[in-house]
DNA sequence: GTCTATAGCTTGATAGAC
DNA sequence: GTCTATCAAGCTATAGAC
Protein backbone atom coordinates (compact mmCIF):
# COMPACT_ATOMS: atom_id res chain seq x y z
CA UNK A 1 0.00 0.00 0.00
CA UNK A 2 2.70 2.50 0.85
CA UNK A 3 5.28 3.38 -1.72
CA UNK A 4 8.33 3.07 0.48
CA UNK A 5 11.30 5.42 0.34
CA UNK A 6 10.51 7.65 -2.52
CA UNK A 7 13.60 9.46 -3.67
CA UNK A 8 11.93 12.88 -3.55
CA UNK A 9 10.83 13.95 -0.10
CA UNK A 10 7.51 12.28 0.61
CA UNK A 11 4.92 14.62 1.97
CA UNK A 12 2.38 15.31 -0.76
CA UNK A 13 -1.31 14.98 -0.05
CA UNK A 14 -3.25 16.99 -2.62
CA UNK A 15 -0.43 18.09 -4.80
CA UNK A 16 1.95 20.19 -2.73
CA UNK A 17 3.95 19.71 0.43
CA UNK A 18 2.57 19.83 3.93
CA UNK A 19 4.11 23.14 4.91
CA UNK A 20 2.43 24.86 1.96
CA UNK A 21 -0.88 23.15 2.67
CA UNK A 22 -0.75 24.43 6.24
CA UNK A 23 -0.05 27.97 5.02
CA UNK A 24 -2.92 27.75 2.52
CA UNK A 25 -5.38 26.53 5.13
CA UNK A 26 -4.23 29.10 7.70
CA UNK A 27 -4.44 31.96 5.21
CA UNK A 28 -8.02 31.12 4.30
CA UNK A 29 -9.21 30.61 7.86
CA UNK A 30 -7.42 33.63 9.33
CA UNK A 31 -9.00 35.73 6.58
CA UNK A 32 -12.51 34.43 7.12
CA UNK A 33 -12.64 34.03 10.88
CA UNK A 34 -9.82 36.24 12.26
CA UNK A 35 -6.69 35.12 14.06
CA UNK A 36 -8.36 34.53 17.40
CA UNK A 37 -11.44 33.01 15.81
CA UNK A 38 -9.59 29.99 14.44
CA UNK A 39 -7.89 27.19 16.30
CA UNK A 40 -4.75 25.38 15.22
CA UNK A 41 -6.87 22.24 15.15
CA UNK A 42 -9.27 23.73 12.62
CA UNK A 43 -6.38 24.83 10.45
CA UNK A 44 -4.75 21.41 10.52
CA UNK A 45 -8.03 19.70 9.86
CA UNK A 46 -8.47 21.78 6.71
CA UNK A 47 -4.84 21.11 5.76
CA UNK A 48 -5.50 17.39 6.24
CA UNK A 49 -2.54 16.90 8.55
CA UNK A 50 -2.09 16.20 12.23
CA UNK A 51 -2.15 19.00 14.81
CA UNK A 52 1.36 18.27 15.98
CA UNK A 53 2.74 18.98 12.51
CA UNK A 54 1.82 22.62 12.93
CA UNK A 55 4.39 22.78 15.71
CA UNK A 56 6.93 20.84 13.71
CA UNK A 57 6.80 23.31 10.82
CA UNK A 58 6.16 26.50 12.81
CA UNK A 59 7.18 27.74 16.23
CA UNK A 60 3.70 28.75 17.36
CA UNK A 61 0.31 29.89 16.13
CA UNK A 62 1.59 33.44 15.97
CA UNK A 63 4.65 32.37 13.97
CA UNK A 64 2.35 30.59 11.52
CA UNK A 65 0.43 33.82 11.11
CA UNK A 66 3.58 35.81 10.40
CA UNK A 67 4.69 33.31 7.78
CA UNK A 68 1.28 33.57 6.10
CA UNK A 69 1.70 37.32 5.87
CA UNK A 70 5.29 37.18 4.64
CA UNK A 71 4.75 34.56 1.96
CA UNK A 72 3.00 36.85 -0.49
CA UNK A 73 4.16 40.32 0.60
CA UNK A 74 7.48 40.19 -1.21
CA UNK A 75 5.94 39.30 -4.57
CA UNK A 76 3.35 42.01 -4.18
CA UNK A 77 5.93 44.68 -3.43
CA UNK A 78 7.98 43.53 -6.40
CA UNK A 79 5.29 43.76 -9.06
CA UNK A 80 4.08 47.12 -7.80
CA UNK A 81 7.60 48.52 -7.82
CA UNK A 82 8.08 47.17 -11.34
CA UNK A 83 4.92 48.97 -12.43
CA UNK A 84 6.16 52.24 -10.97
CA UNK A 85 9.55 51.85 -12.64
CA UNK A 86 7.85 51.18 -15.98
CA UNK A 87 5.85 54.38 -15.66
CA UNK A 88 8.93 56.38 -14.80
CA UNK A 89 10.83 54.97 -17.76
CA UNK A 90 8.08 56.16 -20.05
CA UNK A 91 8.85 59.67 -18.73
CA UNK A 92 12.63 60.12 -18.92
CA UNK A 93 12.36 63.91 -18.85
CA UNK A 94 9.08 64.99 -17.29
CA UNK A 95 7.20 63.63 -14.29
CA UNK A 96 4.50 60.98 -14.82
CA UNK A 97 0.91 62.06 -14.24
CA UNK A 98 -0.82 61.40 -10.95
CA UNK A 99 -3.16 58.95 -12.70
CA UNK A 100 -0.26 56.91 -13.98
CA UNK A 101 1.28 56.66 -10.52
CA UNK A 102 -1.99 55.71 -8.83
CA UNK A 103 -2.56 53.16 -11.56
CA UNK A 104 0.86 51.61 -10.95
CA UNK A 105 0.00 51.44 -7.26
CA UNK A 106 -3.40 49.79 -7.66
CA UNK A 107 -3.50 47.99 -10.99
CA UNK A 108 -1.02 45.12 -10.35
CA UNK A 109 -2.80 44.26 -7.14
CA UNK A 110 -6.34 44.46 -8.49
CA UNK A 111 -5.33 42.54 -11.60
CA UNK A 112 -4.04 39.73 -9.41
CA UNK A 113 -7.36 39.67 -7.62
CA UNK A 114 -9.14 39.49 -10.96
CA UNK A 115 -6.94 37.01 -12.83
CA UNK A 116 -5.90 34.72 -9.99
CA UNK A 117 -8.83 35.23 -7.69
CA UNK A 118 -8.78 31.81 -6.03
CA UNK A 119 -5.13 32.08 -5.14
CA UNK A 120 -5.11 35.63 -3.81
CA UNK A 121 -8.53 36.42 -2.40
CA UNK A 122 -7.90 35.24 1.16
CA UNK A 123 -4.55 36.95 1.47
CA UNK A 124 -6.12 40.23 0.38
CA UNK A 125 -9.01 39.86 2.78
CA UNK A 126 -6.50 39.29 5.53
CA UNK A 127 -4.58 42.43 4.60
CA UNK A 128 -7.83 44.39 4.61
CA UNK A 129 -8.72 43.19 8.10
CA UNK A 130 -5.29 43.99 9.45
CA UNK A 131 -5.16 47.42 7.86
CA UNK A 132 -8.23 48.61 9.72
CA UNK A 133 -7.28 47.02 13.02
CA UNK A 134 -6.03 49.48 15.63
CA UNK A 135 -4.22 46.60 17.32
CA UNK A 136 -2.16 45.36 14.38
CA UNK A 137 -2.71 47.78 11.53
CA UNK A 138 -0.22 50.41 12.55
CA UNK A 139 2.62 48.00 13.11
CA UNK A 140 2.12 45.24 10.56
CA UNK A 141 1.27 47.35 7.52
CA UNK A 142 4.29 49.47 8.32
CA UNK A 143 6.53 46.41 8.50
CA UNK A 144 5.39 44.78 5.28
CA UNK A 145 4.54 47.64 2.95
CA UNK A 146 5.98 50.99 4.01
CA UNK A 147 9.20 50.96 1.98
CA UNK A 148 7.10 50.50 -1.15
CA UNK A 149 4.55 53.10 -0.10
CA UNK A 150 7.25 55.67 0.65
CA UNK A 151 8.63 55.11 -2.83
CA UNK A 152 5.19 55.91 -4.30
CA UNK A 153 4.77 58.98 -2.11
CA UNK A 154 8.09 60.22 -3.44
CA UNK A 155 6.88 59.80 -7.02
CA UNK A 156 3.65 61.63 -6.19
CA UNK A 157 5.58 64.47 -4.61
CA UNK A 158 7.40 64.97 -7.89
CA UNK A 159 4.17 64.92 -9.85
CA UNK A 160 2.64 67.46 -7.43
CA UNK A 161 5.53 69.84 -6.76
CA UNK A 162 3.40 72.44 -4.96
CA UNK A 163 2.03 70.05 -2.37
CA UNK A 164 2.80 70.01 1.32
CA UNK A 165 3.83 66.71 2.89
CA UNK A 166 0.80 66.85 5.15
CA UNK A 167 -1.64 67.03 2.24
CA UNK A 168 0.27 64.28 0.49
CA UNK A 169 0.11 61.86 3.41
CA UNK A 170 -3.56 62.55 4.12
CA UNK A 171 -4.36 61.99 0.47
CA UNK A 172 -2.52 58.70 0.60
CA UNK A 173 -4.53 57.78 3.68
CA UNK A 174 -7.74 58.20 1.68
CA UNK A 175 -6.35 56.07 -1.13
CA UNK A 176 -5.28 53.39 1.31
CA UNK A 177 -8.73 53.14 2.86
CA UNK A 178 -10.41 52.91 -0.53
CA UNK A 179 -8.02 50.25 -1.77
CA UNK A 180 -8.16 48.02 1.28
CA UNK A 181 -11.95 48.08 1.38
CA UNK A 182 -11.91 47.06 -2.27
CA UNK A 183 -9.72 44.02 -1.72
CA UNK A 184 -11.88 42.96 1.22
CA UNK A 185 -14.70 42.12 -1.23
CA UNK A 186 -17.32 42.28 1.51
CA UNK A 187 -20.36 42.26 -0.75
CA UNK A 188 -21.75 45.35 0.88
CA UNK A 189 -21.76 47.29 -2.37
CA UNK A 190 -23.94 44.58 -3.88
CA UNK A 191 -26.51 44.98 -1.12
CA UNK A 192 -26.43 48.76 -1.07
CA UNK A 193 -26.77 49.15 -4.84
CA UNK A 194 -29.45 46.49 -5.15
CA UNK A 195 -27.30 44.43 -7.49
CA UNK A 196 -26.11 47.26 -9.75
CA UNK A 197 -22.49 46.98 -8.55
CA UNK A 198 -20.48 43.99 -7.40
CA UNK A 199 -17.65 43.99 -4.86
CA UNK A 200 -15.72 41.51 -6.96
CA UNK A 201 -15.99 43.45 -10.22
CA UNK A 202 -12.33 44.38 -10.48
CA UNK A 203 -12.72 45.96 -13.92
CA UNK A 204 -15.26 48.29 -12.41
CA UNK A 205 -12.82 49.63 -9.84
CA UNK A 206 -9.63 49.35 -11.93
CA UNK A 207 -10.96 51.93 -14.34
CA UNK A 208 -12.48 54.20 -11.69
CA UNK A 209 -9.98 54.26 -8.83
CA UNK A 210 -7.11 56.10 -10.59
CA UNK A 211 -9.40 58.77 -12.00
CA UNK A 212 -11.26 59.39 -8.76
CA UNK A 213 -8.17 59.37 -6.60
CA UNK A 214 -6.02 61.42 -8.96
CA UNK A 215 -8.69 64.12 -9.01
CA UNK A 216 -8.67 64.13 -5.21
CA UNK A 217 -4.88 64.37 -5.03
CA UNK A 218 -4.87 67.28 -7.46
CA UNK A 219 -7.59 69.07 -5.53
CA UNK A 220 -5.71 68.85 -2.24
CA UNK A 221 -2.11 68.97 -3.43
CA UNK A 222 -2.07 71.79 -5.96
CA UNK A 223 -1.09 75.36 -5.32
CA UNK A 224 -4.17 77.06 -6.70
CA UNK A 225 -6.44 75.34 -4.21
CA UNK A 226 -4.83 76.78 -1.07
CA UNK B 1 -21.29 48.90 55.20
CA UNK B 2 -24.13 48.53 52.71
CA UNK B 3 -26.63 51.28 52.25
CA UNK B 4 -29.75 49.20 52.40
CA UNK B 5 -32.77 49.76 50.18
CA UNK B 6 -31.92 52.85 48.30
CA UNK B 7 -34.97 54.34 46.72
CA UNK B 8 -33.39 54.48 43.28
CA UNK B 9 -32.58 51.10 41.80
CA UNK B 10 -29.37 49.89 43.38
CA UNK B 11 -26.83 48.66 40.92
CA UNK B 12 -24.21 51.36 40.58
CA UNK B 13 -20.55 50.51 40.82
CA UNK B 14 -18.58 53.29 39.16
CA UNK B 15 -21.42 55.61 38.39
CA UNK B 16 -23.82 53.85 36.04
CA UNK B 17 -25.82 50.65 36.09
CA UNK B 18 -24.45 47.19 35.47
CA UNK B 19 -26.00 46.70 32.07
CA UNK B 20 -24.34 49.87 30.79
CA UNK B 21 -21.01 48.92 32.35
CA UNK B 22 -21.14 45.57 30.58
CA UNK B 23 -21.87 47.28 27.26
CA UNK B 24 -19.01 49.72 27.82
CA UNK B 25 -16.53 46.96 28.64
CA UNK B 26 -17.69 44.78 25.75
CA UNK B 27 -17.49 47.66 23.28
CA UNK B 28 -13.91 48.43 24.22
CA UNK B 29 -12.71 44.84 24.22
CA UNK B 30 -14.52 43.80 21.03
CA UNK B 31 -12.95 46.82 19.33
CA UNK B 32 -9.43 46.11 20.53
CA UNK B 33 -9.29 42.34 20.41
CA UNK B 34 -12.11 41.28 18.03
CA UNK B 35 -15.24 39.34 18.89
CA UNK B 36 -13.56 35.95 19.00
CA UNK B 37 -10.48 37.30 20.71
CA UNK B 38 -12.33 38.23 23.89
CA UNK B 39 -14.04 36.01 26.40
CA UNK B 40 -17.16 36.83 28.36
CA UNK B 41 -15.01 36.42 31.47
CA UNK B 42 -12.63 39.14 30.35
CA UNK B 43 -15.53 41.45 29.57
CA UNK B 44 -17.15 40.89 32.95
CA UNK B 45 -13.86 41.28 34.72
CA UNK B 46 -13.43 44.71 33.12
CA UNK B 47 -17.04 45.56 33.93
CA UNK B 48 -16.37 44.54 37.55
CA UNK B 49 -19.32 42.20 37.70
CA UNK B 50 -19.79 38.47 37.86
CA UNK B 51 -19.75 36.31 34.72
CA UNK B 52 -23.26 35.05 35.27
CA UNK B 53 -24.62 38.59 35.08
CA UNK B 54 -23.73 38.69 31.42
CA UNK B 55 -26.30 35.97 30.89
CA UNK B 56 -28.83 37.68 33.09
CA UNK B 57 -28.70 40.90 31.06
CA UNK B 58 -28.09 39.37 27.61
CA UNK B 59 -29.11 36.17 25.90
CA UNK B 60 -25.62 35.17 24.74
CA UNK B 61 -22.25 36.53 23.79
CA UNK B 62 -23.53 37.20 20.31
CA UNK B 63 -26.59 39.03 21.64
CA UNK B 64 -24.28 41.20 23.75
CA UNK B 65 -22.36 42.07 20.60
CA UNK B 66 -25.53 43.05 18.76
CA UNK B 67 -26.63 45.30 21.61
CA UNK B 68 -23.23 46.99 21.57
CA UNK B 69 -23.67 47.74 17.88
CA UNK B 70 -27.25 48.92 18.22
CA UNK B 71 -26.71 51.21 21.18
CA UNK B 72 -24.99 53.98 19.24
CA UNK B 73 -26.15 53.38 15.66
CA UNK B 74 -29.47 55.15 16.05
CA UNK B 75 -27.93 58.35 17.39
CA UNK B 76 -25.35 58.35 14.64
CA UNK B 77 -27.95 57.98 11.90
CA UNK B 78 -29.99 60.75 13.45
CA UNK B 79 -27.30 63.42 13.59
CA UNK B 80 -26.10 62.65 10.08
CA UNK B 81 -29.61 62.86 8.71
CA UNK B 82 -30.10 66.16 10.55
CA UNK B 83 -26.94 67.49 8.92
CA UNK B 84 -28.18 66.50 5.47
CA UNK B 85 -31.56 68.11 6.10
CA UNK B 86 -29.88 71.32 7.23
CA UNK B 87 -27.88 71.44 4.01
CA UNK B 88 -30.98 70.88 1.92
CA UNK B 89 -32.88 73.60 3.73
CA UNK B 90 -30.12 76.04 2.86
CA UNK B 91 -30.90 75.23 -0.80
CA UNK B 92 -34.66 75.48 -1.21
CA UNK B 93 -34.40 75.98 -4.98
CA UNK B 94 -31.12 74.58 -6.27
CA UNK B 95 -29.24 71.39 -5.35
CA UNK B 96 -26.54 71.54 -2.65
CA UNK B 97 -22.95 71.13 -3.80
CA UNK B 98 -21.22 67.78 -3.61
CA UNK B 99 -18.87 69.16 -0.94
CA UNK B 100 -21.77 70.15 1.26
CA UNK B 101 -23.32 66.70 1.02
CA UNK B 102 -20.05 64.88 1.72
CA UNK B 103 -19.47 67.22 4.64
CA UNK B 104 -22.88 66.39 6.08
CA UNK B 105 -22.02 62.71 5.74
CA UNK B 106 -18.62 62.88 7.41
CA UNK B 107 -18.53 65.93 9.67
CA UNK B 108 -20.98 64.89 12.43
CA UNK B 109 -19.21 61.59 12.83
CA UNK B 110 -15.67 62.96 12.81
CA UNK B 111 -16.67 65.76 15.14
CA UNK B 112 -17.97 63.20 17.63
CA UNK B 113 -14.63 61.42 17.44
CA UNK B 114 -12.86 64.71 18.07
CA UNK B 115 -15.05 66.22 20.79
CA UNK B 116 -16.09 63.09 22.66
CA UNK B 117 -13.14 60.88 21.83
CA UNK B 118 -13.18 58.77 24.99
CA UNK B 119 -16.83 57.91 24.61
CA UNK B 120 -16.86 57.10 20.90
CA UNK B 121 -13.44 55.79 19.91
CA UNK B 122 -14.06 52.11 20.60
CA UNK B 123 -17.42 52.04 18.85
CA UNK B 124 -15.87 53.58 15.76
CA UNK B 125 -12.97 51.15 15.79
CA UNK B 126 -15.49 48.34 15.96
CA UNK B 127 -17.41 49.70 12.99
CA UNK B 128 -14.16 49.98 11.04
CA UNK B 129 -13.26 46.36 11.74
CA UNK B 130 -16.69 45.12 10.76
CA UNK B 131 -16.84 47.17 7.59
CA UNK B 132 -13.77 45.50 6.15
CA UNK B 133 -14.71 42.02 7.26
CA UNK B 134 -15.94 39.77 4.47
CA UNK B 135 -17.74 37.69 7.08
CA UNK B 136 -19.82 40.41 8.72
CA UNK B 137 -19.28 43.60 6.72
CA UNK B 138 -21.77 42.94 3.97
CA UNK B 139 -24.61 42.06 6.29
CA UNK B 140 -24.11 44.20 9.39
CA UNK B 141 -23.27 47.50 7.72
CA UNK B 142 -26.30 47.00 5.52
CA UNK B 143 -28.51 46.39 8.52
CA UNK B 144 -27.37 49.36 10.58
CA UNK B 145 -26.56 52.06 8.07
CA UNK B 146 -28.01 51.49 4.61
CA UNK B 147 -31.22 53.51 4.93
CA UNK B 148 -29.11 56.54 5.82
CA UNK B 149 -26.57 55.86 3.08
CA UNK B 150 -29.27 55.49 0.45
CA UNK B 151 -30.64 58.84 1.49
CA UNK B 152 -27.20 60.42 0.90
CA UNK B 153 -26.79 58.68 -2.46
CA UNK B 154 -30.10 60.17 -3.48
CA UNK B 155 -28.89 63.66 -2.57
CA UNK B 156 -25.67 63.10 -4.49
CA UNK B 157 -27.61 61.92 -7.54
CA UNK B 158 -29.44 65.24 -7.57
CA UNK B 159 -26.20 67.17 -7.24
CA UNK B 160 -24.68 65.15 -10.10
CA UNK B 161 -27.57 64.82 -12.56
CA UNK B 162 -25.44 63.41 -15.39
CA UNK B 163 -24.05 60.49 -13.40
CA UNK B 164 -24.82 56.82 -13.86
CA UNK B 165 -25.84 54.80 -10.81
CA UNK B 166 -22.81 52.58 -11.26
CA UNK B 167 -20.39 55.50 -11.04
CA UNK B 168 -22.29 56.85 -8.06
CA UNK B 169 -22.13 53.62 -6.09
CA UNK B 170 -18.45 52.99 -6.86
CA UNK B 171 -17.67 56.53 -5.80
CA UNK B 172 -19.50 55.95 -2.55
CA UNK B 173 -17.48 52.78 -2.08
CA UNK B 174 -14.28 54.81 -2.21
CA UNK B 175 -15.67 57.30 0.29
CA UNK B 176 -16.73 54.49 2.60
CA UNK B 177 -13.27 52.93 2.62
CA UNK B 178 -11.60 56.25 3.34
CA UNK B 179 -13.99 57.12 6.14
CA UNK B 180 -13.85 53.78 7.92
CA UNK B 181 -10.05 53.69 7.83
CA UNK B 182 -10.10 57.16 9.36
CA UNK B 183 -12.30 56.19 12.29
CA UNK B 184 -10.12 53.14 12.94
CA UNK B 185 -7.30 55.45 14.11
CA UNK B 186 -4.68 52.75 13.58
CA UNK B 187 -1.64 54.99 13.91
CA UNK B 188 -0.24 53.81 10.61
CA UNK B 189 -0.26 57.30 9.15
CA UNK B 190 1.93 58.42 12.04
CA UNK B 191 4.50 55.75 11.26
CA UNK B 192 4.42 56.24 7.51
CA UNK B 193 4.75 60.00 7.66
CA UNK B 194 7.44 59.94 10.33
CA UNK B 195 5.27 61.98 12.69
CA UNK B 196 4.08 64.60 10.22
CA UNK B 197 0.49 63.37 10.32
CA UNK B 198 -1.54 61.82 13.12
CA UNK B 199 -4.35 59.30 12.77
CA UNK B 200 -6.28 61.04 15.52
CA UNK B 201 -6.02 64.55 14.05
CA UNK B 202 -9.68 64.93 13.17
CA UNK B 203 -9.30 68.54 12.10
CA UNK B 204 -6.76 67.36 9.56
CA UNK B 205 -9.20 65.02 7.89
CA UNK B 206 -12.38 67.04 8.46
CA UNK B 207 -11.06 69.81 6.24
CA UNK B 208 -9.55 67.49 3.61
CA UNK B 209 -12.04 64.67 3.16
CA UNK B 210 -14.91 66.68 1.59
CA UNK B 211 -12.62 68.46 -0.86
CA UNK B 212 -10.76 65.32 -1.93
CA UNK B 213 -13.85 63.17 -2.21
CA UNK B 214 -16.02 65.81 -3.92
CA UNK B 215 -13.33 66.24 -6.58
CA UNK B 216 -13.36 62.48 -7.12
CA UNK B 217 -17.14 62.32 -7.38
CA UNK B 218 -17.18 65.15 -9.91
CA UNK B 219 -14.44 63.49 -11.97
CA UNK B 220 -16.32 60.19 -12.21
CA UNK B 221 -19.90 61.38 -12.17
CA UNK B 222 -19.96 64.30 -14.59
CA UNK B 223 -20.95 64.19 -18.21
CA UNK B 224 -17.86 65.80 -19.68
CA UNK B 225 -15.59 63.09 -18.33
CA UNK B 226 -17.20 60.19 -20.20
C1' DG C 1 -30.05 41.36 40.65
C1' DT C 2 -26.25 39.13 42.31
C1' DC C 3 -23.58 35.34 43.88
C1' DT C 4 -21.26 30.18 43.99
C1' DA C 5 -20.48 26.10 41.74
C1' DT C 6 -20.01 23.33 38.05
C1' DA C 7 -20.99 20.86 33.60
C1' DG C 8 -19.08 19.88 29.24
C1' DC C 9 -16.05 21.21 25.85
C1' DT C 10 -12.06 23.29 23.25
C1' DT C 11 -7.83 25.44 23.41
C1' DG C 12 -2.31 25.90 22.51
C1' DA C 13 1.36 23.21 23.05
C1' DT C 14 4.53 19.06 24.08
C1' DA C 15 6.60 14.23 24.89
C1' DG C 16 7.82 10.24 22.85
C1' DA C 17 7.20 6.16 19.67
C1' DC C 18 8.10 5.03 14.84
C1' DG D 1 8.19 13.89 9.11
C1' DT D 2 4.37 11.90 10.99
C1' DC D 3 1.63 9.78 14.45
C1' DT D 4 -0.78 8.87 19.43
C1' DA D 5 -1.61 10.47 23.78
C1' DT D 6 -1.94 13.83 26.99
C1' DC D 7 -1.80 18.19 29.97
C1' DA D 8 -3.22 22.32 32.17
C1' DA D 9 -5.85 26.09 31.20
C1' DG D 10 -9.54 28.54 29.45
C1' DC D 11 -14.05 28.68 27.31
C1' DT D 12 -19.67 29.43 27.03
C1' DA D 13 -23.44 28.71 29.46
C1' DT D 14 -26.62 27.19 33.24
C1' DA D 15 -28.70 25.70 37.87
C1' DG D 16 -29.85 27.16 42.15
C1' DA D 17 -29.19 29.69 46.68
C1' DC D 18 -29.88 34.32 48.54
Distance CA B165, CA B153 (A): 9
What is the per-residue DSSP string for A84-143? HHHHHHT-SSSPPPHHHHHHHHHHHHHHHHHHTHHHHHHHHHHHHHHHT-TTTHHHHHHH
Q: What is the mean pLDDT of residues A206-211?
A: 98
Chain-centre distance for alpha carbon A47:
23
pTM of the model: 0.93
Residue range B139-171, pLDDT digits in tens: 999 999 999 999 999 999 999 999 999 999 999
Distance CA A52, CA A49 (A): 8
Q: What is the mean pLDDT of residues B64-89?
A: 97
Q: What pLDDT, on a 0 to 100 scale, did the predictor assign at position B130?
A: 96
State whether residue B222 sits within 8 Å of chain A by CB: no
Q: pLDDT at residue A49 above 70?
A: yes
Q: pLDDT at residue A116 above 90?
A: yes
Q: pLDDT at residue B93 above 90?
A: yes
- Which of B 85-144 lie inside 8 A of A, CB atoms? 125, 128-129, 131-135, 137-139, 141-142
What Å value separates CA B47 and C1' D18? 22
Q: What pLDDT, on a 0 to 100 scale, did the predictor assign at position B137?
A: 85
Residue range B95-135, pLDDT digits in tens: 999 999 999 999 999 999 999 999 999 999 999 999 999 98
**Taking Cα atoms as reference points, which of B134, B209, B222 lies closest to residue B176?**
B209
Burial class (CB in 10 A: 0-12, 13-18, 19+), A103: buried
**Taking Cα atoms as reference points, which of B67, B76, B21 lies closest to residue B44?**
B21
Q: What pLDDT, on a 0 to 100 scale, did the predictor assign at position B224?
A: 63
Q: pLDDT at residue A2 above 50?
A: no
Q: pLDDT at residue B9 above 70?
A: no
Q: What pLDDT, on a 0 to 100 scale, did the predictor assign at position B16?
A: 80
The overall average pLDDT reported for chain B is 92
Q: What pLDDT, on a 0 to 100 scale, did the predictor assign at position B184?
A: 98
Q: pLDDT at residue B138 above 90?
A: no
Distance CA A42, CA A30 (A): 11
| Domains of chain A as residue ranges with CATH | 70-225 (1.10.357.10)
What Å value separates CA A89 and C1' C8? 66
Task: Find which of A27, A128, A132, A217 to mutate to test the B interface (most B CBs within 10 Å of its CB).
Answer: A132
Residue range A58-88, pLDDT digits in tens: 999 999 999 999 999 999 999 999 999 999 9
Amino acid sequence: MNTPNRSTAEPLANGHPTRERILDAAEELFAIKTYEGVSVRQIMSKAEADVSLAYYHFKSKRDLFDQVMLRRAAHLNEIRLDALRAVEQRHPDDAPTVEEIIDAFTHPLLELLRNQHDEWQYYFRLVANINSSAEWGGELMTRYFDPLVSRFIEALRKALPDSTDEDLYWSYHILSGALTLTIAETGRLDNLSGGICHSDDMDGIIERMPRFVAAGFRELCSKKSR
